[in-house]
Chains A and B, each alone.
Chain A
Amino acid sequence: MRKKILVIDDEKDIVKLLESRLKANHYEVVTAFDGEEGLEKLKKEKPDLVILDIFMPKTDGYTFVRECKTIVDIKSVPIIVLTAKERMRDLFKMEGVADYILKPFMAEELLEKVNKHIGPA
């Protein structure tokens, strides 16, 4: 079975680009446009990995991370945070976030990090 990735970002263009890039590398992709929708998809779709934007309306990325650690059967899903803020990397080292990618990201870096955490599709 192909590995499934959940992409959560309120920037629709970013979601679309990530989706086509990941699909081109044979991953299955599900998308959400805010944290709340992300949590629903997370429970329903049981992805192998989450790519998450931090600054989003409604439920933001911080809340998403906190909430998702309380859901028993998915709390170990690796989360890669997508951010333009360099300082996030310190903040997230400790908080149950597996990795971070700084915007503007390079496709190679993105795929390398995805591969590192869940392997190829």
Chain B
Amino acid sequence: MHDKPIKILVVENNLEDASLIKEFLKEAPHIQTDLVHVQRLSDAQKWLAAEAFDLILLDLFLPDSQGLETMTKMDRKAASLPIVVLTGLQDETIGIEAVRRGAQDYLSKEELNRELLSRVVLYAIERHRLQAVKNDLMAMVSHELRTPLTIVRESIAQVLEGLLGGITEEQRQRLSTALTSTDRLNRMIGNLLDMAKIEAEKLELKKEILNIADMAREVISIFKTRIQSQGLRIIENFPNPDLKVYADKDKIIQVFTNLLSNAIKFTEKGYIEVGVVDKDNFTECSVSDTGLGIGQEYLLKVFDKFQQLGRASGQGEKGTGLGLSICKGLVESHRGRIWVESPPASPITWRAGPPASTRFTFILPHYTPGEIFKECITMGIKESRRQGLVLSILTFEIDDFDTIEKREGKEKMASLLGHLEAITQQSLRRQSDTVIQNSRSILVVLPFTPKNNALLVGARIQHTFEDYLSQESDHPIKILCHAAGYPEDGTTEEQLLKKVREK
């Protein structure tokens, strides 16, 4: 079946298991294999970076990584490779969960034999190939459809708007119908493309620090006319209007848009409530409505593709059957979770009107400033490498922080840092620049900026702030500014961070 030997990376901590696999594969029917065996995740990653493999056989419990996390970490480096997970006899559930998260198959180590191993390897490669073909096809078709669709849409629009002369009322109506359908077709293509990207794990998030309530409001304002014309009320429940999340703006707006348009579609009277609430480890967003509920038997299916069941068909523009599966994909790519309740377990304590019948909730994880800084640098380096450009990072610290804090008090220090952040934000206007406030420093990522420019910017911010400080405090306070540049100071996030930490 295969002309060349199948190149397999065996990631297995247990030497006995590994040599058993080697023996079996050597004599396995129908396949010829070429094995590389490593014991640690870090070694696996090195091999993957250096050589091309056809398949990974992966034990989830390694000295440097434990459990399903191993797969996620591996996945990032090897998203385009089929993975077969090796499990013990007892932990079959973990194997099933691994498959759910994208592994092609799992193998219980106690049950290994030549025939089984050969079949699993062949099937995993073939199944993975078919998935890739399907995703490529979907993406390609969606792209190719855009140009003819543009021509159709704009031609209809021009005749409809009378650019080419007057038309009759009947002609106008017919063309309006054609235009509505063209727009629907366009939405479907957009959704198919999104879905293909999510399934191929090729979705690239452009995360930034966002005010989540502002985003919810932005989406509500798009739907305002429609909500009012249907006689519905909209309730905003944003107890903390300054709440920030670290997420991709377009994607979160898309999630809110899909949930809200869904709620409007199925609600004839009453209200729609949009909530954004801060919890201990995550931010919780919800869209509730008083429309038709969802039958219990459909609750688990609403996020599946092409499922337009569960709620009697609503009014307004026709759906594509992909909206909620895209929501799920987008939320999960942010390492969040989405679910639906009908009726909600804890009805809102809203004073007027009936309790909501349906509530969609999604949660986004919290990030520490340090985590955000690291991720921004990693993403920035990736982008710079792709475009052959540079990147700089800057940090600002208050010199002798502890002594000054003792003298001025905690509150004062927080307000000083707040000011330093504001000044930094004002000096940097590009959207791609990121400014993060940490407990005692300000962290800045400047994509596409050479280090000497970054140093100039840094010095300017330093002066502006020291000017401000000289009016604020009788004692002199000094600001320290450190910079590091890609590629001259390092080519990884760790190296750049090390550089700015060197005093």
Contacts and interface: CB of A to CB of B under 8 A. Distances in A.
Main secondary structure on B side of the interface with A: helix
Query: Which residue of A11, A14, A93, A103 has the most chain B CB atoms within 10 A of its CB atom?
Result: A103
A104 interface: yes
Contact of A94 (B143, B147, B158, B389): B389
A14 B147 contact: yes
B143 A93 contact: no
A32 B387 CA distance: 28
A13 interface: yes
A115 interface: no
A107 interface: yes
A17 interface: yes
Interface of A: 11, 13-14, 17, 20-21, 24, 84-85, 87, 90-91, 93-94, 103-107
Contact of B150 (A85, A90, A91, A105): A105
B492 interface: no
Given A107-B154, A107-B161, 12 more contacts: A11-B151, A14-B150, A17-B154, A17-B155, A21-B163, A24-B158, A84-B146, A85-B143, A87-B204, A104-B153, A104-B186, A105-B150
16 contacts: A11-B147, A14-B151, A17-B158, A20-B158, A21-B163, A24-B163, A84-B143, A84-B147, A85-B143, A103-B147, A103-B149, A104-B150, A104-B153, A104-B186, A105-B154, A107-B154
Contact of B158 (A21, A93, A103): A21
B448 interface: yes
A41 B25 CA distance: 65
Interface residues of B, number: 22
A17 B153 CA distance: 10
B178 to A, nearest CB: 14
A21 B146 contact: no
A93 to B, nearest CB: 7
B234 interface: no
Given A21-B158, A85-B143, A104-B146, A13 B163 contact: no
Query: Which residue of B150, B153, B157, B432 has the most chain A CB atoms within 10 A of its CB atom?
Result: B150
A85 B206 CA distance: 16
A13 B147 CA distance: 10
Contacts of A13: 151
A104 B148 CA distance: 9
A107 B206 CA distance: 28
B248 interface: no
Contacts of B204: 87
